[in-house]
Amino acid sequence: MINRDKTMAAMLSAIDDAEDKEDIEERGAVYRRPRPPREPSQVYSVRISVDRLQLLRDLAESEGVTPSALARRLVVEGLHRAISGRPEVERLRHQVVELEERLTAQTTAFTQRLDEISEIMEKHNREVPLR
């Protein structure tokens, strides 16, 4: 009786294995991640125009990555800039103010020099009569 139970269990196990193999053949190989995900993630669909999608594909190919990996990186970088970009905006504003001040100073110096040149020319024209 014990041998019969073992034989029956072995047969059932073989049938299960065969069915599992058949299921795998029907569905294709089971995908296993090469490594576990670093953090939980979610798929998010985004509508992209055909020309922009082609640009994404071309750029991804030139960088040697998949289009989805490049899109993911660009989105994450954009989010990072949006969050941390506030100080960047302030830094750029400060640079613009500095440039405006320098431009104003240079314009003032240039105008003063033009005035000096005009005075010299007028003086010269008064001293040297036209022929």
Q: What confidence score (pLDDT) does residue 15 get? A: 74
- Looking at per-residue confidence, does 67 or 127 come out higher? 67
Q: Categorize the per-residue pLDDT at 25 as very low, low, confident or very high, splitting at 50, 70 and 90.
A: low
CA dist 18 → 8, 9, 14, 23, 57 (Å) = 15, 14, 6, 9, 42
Q: What is the mean pLDDT of residues 51-77?
A: 90
* pTM (whole model) above 0.85: no
What distance in Å separates the CA atoms of residue 53 and residue 37, rounded to the nearest whole number?
26
Q: What confidence score (pLDDT) does residue 61 get? A: 92
CB-based contact 54:43 (threshold 8 Å): no
Q: What confidence score (pLDDT) does residue 55 get? A: 93
